[in-house]
Amino acid sequence: MSKIDIDLYSDTQTRPTPGMRDAMANAEVGDEQRDEDPSTNRLCDMAAEMLGKEAAVFMPSGTMCNQIAILVHCRPGDDIIADKTSHIINSEGGGPAVFSGTSIRPIDGVRGIFTAEQAEAAMRKPRRHAPRTRMIEIEQTANSGGGTIWPLETVRAVGKVAQDNGLVLHMDGARLPNAVVASGVAARDFAEPFDSLWIDLSKGLGCPIGAVLAGSKDFILQAWQWKQRMGGAMRQSGVIAAAGVYALENNIDRMVDDHDNARMFAENVANLPGVAVDMDSVQTNMVFFDVSGTGMTAAEVHERLLKRGVRIGENDKYRMRVVTHLDVTRDHVATAAEALRDVVLENAAVMA
């Protein structure tokens, strides 16, 4: 593989900064399984406070947060309502079917976001033949929707449908901090209607590992038991939890830069021949674009950009995704947009 100078593949590509590494090196530690790791306890307290929930638990990954939340809330044969693009449907190895024996009813939302009416219509009438609708799940921001933000009114309207019908409401908040920074809505306001939610530390927050799952005390007690069962309980986890504490204190407000950079990239490439960007979907740190008009597939564009030291993800045959993050500067993004322009124009010249 060519050397990657500019990595726009994902916000998971961030490396811990010197400040974060210092925090990790100096972390106070103990035994997490015995609730004796002070840094992990601090991280959980901070996350619970930020999200307005009674308690929180540190997890190795966001995927484990989703799977454990589903395990706590659902029983085999239960049905979950989620957007068709959601991570729990497409990127967790069929976990809901494997671990909790649940099915998911996909909703055809717009840019990853569905309405209260759609959620209501997706609920199944109680009858012997149908699975029991148990949970509504939303993703903030909606990753495959374009990094789009669930507006607070929509969150609340869907929350009301859940409440009126006795359903559990769960948020995959992998990029909730991005939604908070971009919208100005507080995390606890977004979180208010949810029975459970989590944030990822290893995405835009820049940590090497980890996620935090929050909810009521009783929910967290049960989530802890699943974590223990599945082998997710740790020992001196403070070394990594300290990175999370550092990130919550230092790496949220700066996401404004990531969002500005994503918008700049989108604007710089929107008018390239054969490249289509849905500008309305550019709301946070992602830019999805379609290259079907260039005469190249996403895989071809990906390869040609790699030769220029730029990595941009290929999501589909013609769909590509740029994600801005802590390790990407404004100059990097401008250079990447130029590289894409060169690749597109060169190919057009060859074809002419």
Does 182 contact ligand PLP by CB under 6 A?
no
Map tokens 């990753």 to a residue. Answer: 143
Does 202 contact ligand PLP by CB under 6 A?
yes
Quote the least distance from Cβ 201 to ligand PLP, whole Å: 8
Q: Which is nearer to ligand PLP, 101 or 208 (CB)?
A: 208
Q: What's the rounded Cα separation, in Å, for the pair 175 and 201?
A: 9
Does 87 contact ligand PLP by CB under 6 A?
yes
Q: How far is CA 16 from CA 19, 228, 240, 249, in A?
A: 8, 27, 11, 14
Q: What angle do CA 300, 303, 308 make, to 5 degrees?
A: 130
Does 172 contact ligand PLP by CB under 6 A?
yes
**One of 62, 95, 159, 177 touching ligand PLP (CB under 6 A):** 62
Binding mask 236-275 for ligand PLP (x = CB under 6 A): ----------------------------------------
Q: What's the rounded Cα separation, in Å, for the pair 221 and 61?
A: 18
Q: What's the rounded Cα separation, in Å, for the pair 144 and 139?
A: 10
Does 61 contact ligand PLP by CB under 6 A?
yes
Scanning residues 100 to 159, which ones bind ligand PLP (CB under 6 A)?
139, 143
Map tokens 């005390």 to a residue. Answer: 217
Count Cβ atoms within 10 A of the Cβ of residue 31 and give its class: 0-12 exposed, 13-18 middle, 19 or more buried: middle
Q: Which is nearer to ligand PLP, 62 or 177 (CB)?
A: 62
Q: Which is nearer to ligand PLP, 41 or 148 (CB)?
A: 148
Does 170 contact ligand PLP by CB under 6 A?
no
Does 200 contact ligand PLP by CB under 6 A?
yes
Q: How far is CA 135 from CA 1, 56, 120, 169, 338, in A?
A: 43, 20, 12, 6, 45
Q: Which is nearer to ligand PLP, 247 or 340 (CB)?
A: 247
List of residues contacting ligand PLP (CB under 6 A): 61-63, 87, 139, 143, 172, 174, 200, 202-203, 211
